[in-house]
Amino acid sequence: MALNQSGWRPEMNAGGADDTATFTGNRALMLEEPLIFEIGSADTTGVDFDSVVIGRPQVGNLYRDAPIGLPGLSEGEAIRHYTRLSRQNYAIDLGLFPLGSCTMKHNPRLNEKVARMPGFADIHPLQPQETVQGALAVINELAVWLIKLTGMHGVAMTPKAGAHGELCGVLCIKAALKARGEDRRVLLVPESAHGTNPATAAFAGFTVENIPATPEGRVDLAALRGRLGPDVAGVMITNPNTCGLFERDMKAISDAVHAAGGYVYCDGANFNAIVGKVRPGDLGVDAMHINLHKTFSTPHGGGGPGSGPVVLSEALAPYGPIPYSARYADGSFKLVEEESAGEEHPDTFGRMTAFHGQMGMFTRALAYILSHGADGLKQVAEDAVLNANYILRSLEDVLDAPFGGSGPCMHEALFTDDGLAEGFSTLDIAKGIIDEGYHPMTVYFPLVVHGAMLIEPTETESKAVLDQFIGALRSVALRAKNGDPALKSAPHFAPRARLDETLAARKPVLTWSEPAVAPGTPSLSEIGGS
């Protein structure tokens, strides 16, 4: 008899005449973990307390007149619960993350040590500036490196993430146009750009118009030139683009946009592929955000918001946001805020966020930069591109590579589900790779490629690790090409079976409901639960 989802078979029932099946759902050491409300009872605690009379303690204008209704667990139960949940997560510390839409590289422990130094970890954003001179010096040093690596004129350090950085750059463009007395309302976004680009442009009040891609997966330069005019504020372009290709016509694109009076925004999410090799400022870029987690190894968040600094050209730097860190002749540092912006930064479009960036991300990124140096960062890009091309050429005989004939890729390898057996698709490949112990690659993105599978190995993975992943993906791809029916129900060894993704999207169950109880038994809601 076939195993069910828990791995239990009816004939496993041992002893006794009652053949009613009772099983845990556990799979060896991968334990089935219920919700915390299903483990503990709300009328008990993990420790002994004397009886407490519920009064009406006031916290502001909030009152509690019933027990809080949280389940009571012992310390051991609580620790085991969260540890078991953590084992159901995939993480960069467990293995390769083949996502192609987001650079997932190893986070060096040196960076973590630096971020936890008391002078950085324990400071408060409202401290007097004279007490955080070292922190401001770190921010300034990182800013200098980002300007140097990109060949730009200035940098805004306040944005909290990539999309936040996009908005910062677009608002700089908007402010520059306003200063020129021009009301240009259109931003051009190529099909090969990141999906957040048109959303950001629309959020900033621009009308978005698409520019088609060529059969090679790059921007159609002729189509872009043909659309430029007095209503076009600029272009938002991703380079290297979402097909994993470098935009060879980038300088020609910038020249054409500038000649038409517009500005060039470059999505720098893929800067990891060109850091130390290409300076976007030399290609005519006016604004570009840099995801510190993608290029400079900081975690995605890391105990708070992420960080997406925006480098700016000489034309846009005067319009950047406040506050920013400035170094004065006496060696001191200062955050230029509203009260001093009128004199030192009069054309700023204003403030994007309450505080100046994320210290934990700044310290980690600067530690990564200083540990590599300029030459080491160049090798980062070279190794990332080498690893991506190794994956591309190692798999193109079993998976369709739509741009494999266009020459080397950059940071990521792109495949499609063309050539699989009838009825098999990218989704089956993605679910099958879970059974091999890997998080799936990015699927169905970029949208311009049908059945896309996007893989970015980064520079921090060794050849041995890549070979193991390639072997696993080849195995799954061959099963899909040969029509293995078991692949249609994968994954079989994950904590959960394949979900009905359509039903999950249309009718998600977002709340926990108390199960039915025997008559006379008080419910959680009756004793203050929810």
Q: What's the confidence (pLDDT) of residue 495?
A: 82
Q: What's the confidence (pLDDT) of residue 530?
A: 38
Q: What's the confidence (pLDDT) of residue 528?
A: 44
Average pLDDT, integer, range 360-388: 96
Distances in whole angstroms, Cα of residue 445 to Cα of each of 258, 370, 421, 452, 479 = 30, 34, 21, 6, 23
pLDDT per residue as tens digits for the range 1-34: 333 344 434 444 444 445 555 556 777 777 788 8
Distance CA 200, CA 168 (A): 10
Q: What's the confidence (pLDDT) of residue 302?
A: 61
- Encoded tokens for 323: 């506050």
CB proximity list for 245: less than 8 A, separation 6 or greater: 192, 216, 217, 218, 403, 406, 409, 410
Percentage of residues in the chain having pLDDT higher than 90 = 67
Distance CA 282, CA 279 (A): 6
User: Cβ of 433: how many Cβ atoms within 10 Å?
Assistant: 23
Q: Would you place residue 248 in the very low, low, confident or very high pLDDT band (cuts 50, 70, 90)?
A: very high
Distance CA 201, CA 388 (A): 31
Q: What's the confidence (pLDDT) of residue 168?
A: 97
pLDDT per residue as tens digits for the range 253-293: 999 999 999 999 999 999 999 999 999 999 999 999 999 99
Q: What's the confidence (pLDDT) of residue 378?
A: 97
CATH class of 110-366: alpha beta
Length of the chain equals 530
Q: Among candidates 79, 62, 458, which has minimal Cα distance to 244?
A: 458
Q: Among candidates 478, 402, 480, 404, which has minimal Cα distance to 446?
A: 402
Distance CA 170, CA 200 (A): 8
Q: Where are the domains of the chain?
A: 1-27, 33-88+502-530, 110-366, 376-501
Distances in whole angstroms, Cα of residue 285 to Cα of each of 240, 251, 422, 491 = 13, 9, 45, 44
Q: What is the dihedral of CA 65, 70, 73, 77, to 10 degrees?
A: -160
Q: Is the separation of the CB atoms in 267 and 237 below 8 Å?
A: yes
Q: What's the confidence (pLDDT) of residue 511?
A: 82
User: Cβ of 417: how many Cβ atoms within 10 Å?
Assistant: 21
Average pLDDT, integer, range 105-122: 92
Distance CA 291, CA 298 (A): 9
User: Cβ of 322: how many Cβ atoms within 10 Å?
Assistant: 20
Tracing tokens 């921090």 back to the chain, one arrives at 460
- Encoded tokens for 219: 């921007």
Residue 201, φ and ψ in degrees, nearest 5:
-60, -45
CATH class of 376-501: alpha beta
Give the H/E segment covering residue 208: strand 207-211
Range with the largest mean pLDDT of 341-350, 434-443, 496-505 = 434-443
Q: What's the confidence (pLDDT) of residue 2?
A: 38
pLDDT per residue as tens digits for the range 72-113: 888 888 999 999 998 888 888 999 999 998 899 999 999 999
CB proximity list for 429: less than 8 A, separation 6 or greater: 417, 420, 440, 443, 453, 473, 476, 477, 480
Average pLDDT, integer, range 118-129: 90
Task: Give me the chain's average pLDDT, please.
Answer: 88
